[in-house]
């Protein structure tokens, strides 16, 4: 069955430091996609970055990068040079062939950036 696990309920980081948010996944499919979303206190879900199971290079989008370790089934989000505006909930999500019509979400990590 598809499953996403985020083991860090909350993280506190100093401004300008890099931060890694953990995500592990479980699927029996060889073809799948991994996604990260940001949810600020205003509530909307903002797409950040995507990694495909067949992508050989780690995805990057500006200050966001995805540390994809396929053998370990992990897809950690790395935020470089954190900013106060990065304080939010972060969700890891996955779609595979069995459930291509939906995203399966983890429970999220609440990130707080301290000045």
Partner 1 sequence: EAQVTQNPRYLITVTGKKLTVTCSQNMNHEYMSWYRQDPGLGLRQIYYSMNVEVTDKGDVPEGYKVSRKEKRNFPLILESPSPNQTSLYFCASMSGGWVTDTQYFGPGTRLTVL
Residues numbered 33 to 72 that lie near partner 1 (CB under 8 A) are 33, 35, 37, 43-47, 50, 52-53
Q: What is the DSSP letter of 81?
A: S
How many Cα atoms sit within 13 Å of 8 on the Cβ side?
A: 20
The smaller minimum CB distance to partner 1, of residues 3 and 16, is found at: 3
Q: Considering the rule CB under 8 A, would residue 10 count as an interface residue with partner 1? A: no
CB contact at 8 A, 23 and 7 = no
Letter string b/e over residues 30-63, b meaning 16 or more CB atoms within 10 A of that residue's CB: eebbbbbbbeeeeeeeeebbebebeeeeebeeee
| Contacting residue, 95, 109, 111, 113, with partner 1 by CB under 8 A | 95
Instruction: State the minimum distance, in angstroms, from the CB of residue 40 to partner 1.
Output: 11
Report CA-CA distances (Å) from 109 to 24, 28, 90: 13, 25, 5
The smaller minimum CB distance to partner 1, of residues 64 and 105, is found at: 105
Q: Considering the rule CB under 8 A, would residue 86 count as an interface residue with partner 1? A: no
**What residue ranges bind partner 1 (CB under 8 A)?**
29, 31-33, 35, 37, 43-47, 50, 52-53, 91, 93, 95-97, 100-103, 105-108
């Amino acid at each position: 069955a598809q499953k996403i696990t985020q083991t860090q309920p909350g993280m506190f980081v100093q401004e300008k430091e890099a931060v890694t948010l953990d995500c592990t996944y479980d699927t029996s499919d060889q073809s799948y996609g991994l996604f990260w979303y940001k949810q600020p206190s205003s509530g909307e879900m903002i797409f950040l970055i995507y990694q495909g199971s067949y992508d050989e290079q780690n995805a990057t989008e500006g200050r966001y990068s995805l540390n994809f370790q396929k053998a370990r089934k992990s897809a950690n989000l790395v935020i470089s040079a954190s900013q106060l505006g990065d304080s939010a909930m972060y969700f890891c999500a996955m779609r595979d062939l069995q459930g291509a019509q939906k995203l399966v979400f983890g429970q999220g990590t609440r990130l707080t950036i301290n000045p």
